[in-house]
Amino acid sequence: MDDRPVVPYRARKTIGTEKTFQTDTIDLSFLRAELLKMLKVLTFDLRNEKKLAATVTVKIRYADFNTFSKQKKLTHTADDHLLKPVVLHLFDQLYERRQRIRMIGIQFGKLVHGHPQMNLFDDQSKSLRLLREMDGIRKRFGKGVI
């Protein structure tokens, strides 16, 4: 018999968020703006937890409650600039029914502990510095500040 308390620990495998709208919408600029807001919060959380993602999933639910998702594998990253075009491309691939949308969501998967790897042929130092400064502001004043 062991009297020690059981402390369950499971490493986080995914991180994501969804937003259900009060009224179904077909406004693509609004939907893309909401996706980008979610993306910025999620990438901040990734960097804050020192995690990198290898898959991106975008999910939409139409007004008739049919739900669809698309996923893409990529190199491990937590960089907004690399994930933004992937998220928008997946959304554009999903949104083909031209119906009102009730819910959208983003999920990052295959999380690993680490820091972004700089590409030898791209000068990303300015981008990484900018992300660090923006993350510092978010930590100090809240996620929704920037």
pLDDT class of 108 with cuts at 50, 70, 90: very high
pLDDT value, residue 124:
63
Quick check: is 78 in a domain? yes
Q: What pLDDT does 37 receive? A: 93
Q: How far is CA 49 from CA 11, 15, 102, 105, 109, in A?
A: 12, 11, 30, 20, 14
At residue 141, the pLDDT reads 77
**Would you say residue 121 lies in a domain?**
no
In a domain? residue 1: no
What rounded mean pLDDT belongs to the chain? 86
- CATH code of the domain containing 49: 3.30.1490.100
- Quote the pLDDT of residue 118: 58
pLDDT of residue 107 exceeding 60: yes
Number of domains composing the chain:
1
Is residue 129 one of the residues assigned to a domain? no
Q: Indicate whether 33 pLDDT > 80.
A: yes
pLDDT per position as a tens digit, 58-103? 999 999 999 999 999 999 988 888 899 999 999 999 987 778 999 9
| Containing structural domain, residue 100 | 14-113
Looking at per-residue pLDDT, the higher value among 101 and 122 belongs to: 101
* Residue 94, domain member (yes or no): yes
What is the 3-class SS of the chain, one letter each residue?
CCCCCCCCCCCCCEEEEEEEEEEEECCHHHHHHHHHHHHHHHHHHHHHCCEEEEEEEEEEEECCCCEEEEEEEEEEECCHHHHHHHHHHHHHHHCCCCCCEEEEEEEEECCEECCCCCCCCCCCHHHHHHHHHHHHHHHHHCCCCC
Which pLDDT score is estimated for 47? 87
* Whole-prediction pTM: 0.77
With CA atoms as reference, report the closest residue to 35 among 108, 131, 105. 105
